[in-house]
């Protein structure tokens, strides 16, 4: 019988920069945001895996000057037992990051508020779609194979708020 358990959630790394403070507080808040997402799973042995979801938010003001940069590496320890390799790879690349993402979103919102800036309300992420893109890149030879794991990464893009 297959087993899946979340053992621990933790912040592995956290960075906040506000290079234009305090001048940023003088202008009207009209940010443009770039969101980058990456997920990586590492086998730890004994049916345990570390999944690290890295989210970087680059916020630029109306004049394209950097206002804030927040990067969070949210880690999770998961136990996955008696699952086929393909099913385990999909779970590690989609299910585990889906569990971790709300924690990342809360940390980013908190860091923006602590920096004196309006919070950033990140939309939900479709990790299944990102996984499918990663699988297609690997099949096309654009992604390196590292022993069967599939890391996911979002294409760099902008989100207007």
pLDDT score of 27: 77
* pTM for this predicted structure: 0.84
pLDDT score of 20: 87
Contact at 8 Å (CB) between 68 and 112? Answer: yes
pLDDT score of 149: 47
Q: How far is CA 91 from CA 99, 133, 151, in A?
A: 11, 15, 12
Q: What are phi and psi of 33, to 5 degrees?
A: -120, 140
* Residue 107 backbone class (left: φ over 0; alpha: ψ -120 to 50; beta: rest): alpha
Number of neighbours of residue 146 by Cβ within 10 angstroms:
9
How big is the CA angle at 85 (ends 79 and 91), to the nearest 5 degrees? 50
Q: Which residues of the chain have pLDDT under 70?
A: 142-161
| Contacts made by residues 45-48, CB under 8 angstroms, sequence distance 24+ | 47/3, 47/79, 47/80, 47/81, 48/7, 48/77, 48/78, 48/79
pLDDT score of 24: 84
pLDDT score of 152: 58
Q: What distance in Å separates the CA atoms of residue 149 and residue 144, rounded to the nearest whole number?
A: 10
CATH superfamily of 3-142: SecB-like (3.10.420.10)
């Amino acid at each position: 019988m297959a087993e899946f358990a979340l053992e621990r959630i933790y912040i592995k790394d956290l960075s906040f920069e506000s290079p234009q403070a305090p001048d940023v507080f003088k202008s009207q808040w009209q940010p443009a945001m770039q969101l980058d997402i990456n997920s990586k799973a590492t086998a730890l042995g004994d049916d345990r895996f570390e999944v690290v979801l890295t989210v970087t938010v680059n916020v630029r003001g109306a004049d394209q000057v950097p206002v804030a940069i927040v990067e969070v590496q949210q880690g999770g320890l998961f136990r996955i037992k008696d699952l086929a390799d393909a099913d385990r790879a999909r779970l590690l690349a989609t299910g585990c990051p889906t569990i971790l993402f709300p924690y990342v979103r809360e940390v980013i919102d908190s860091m923006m508020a602590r920096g004196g800036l309006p919070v950033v309300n990140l939309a939900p992420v479709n990790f299944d779609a990102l996984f499918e893109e990663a699988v297609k890149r690997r099949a096309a030879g654009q992604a390196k194979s590292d022993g069967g794991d599939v890391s996911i990464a979002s294409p760099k893009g902008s989100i207007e708020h």
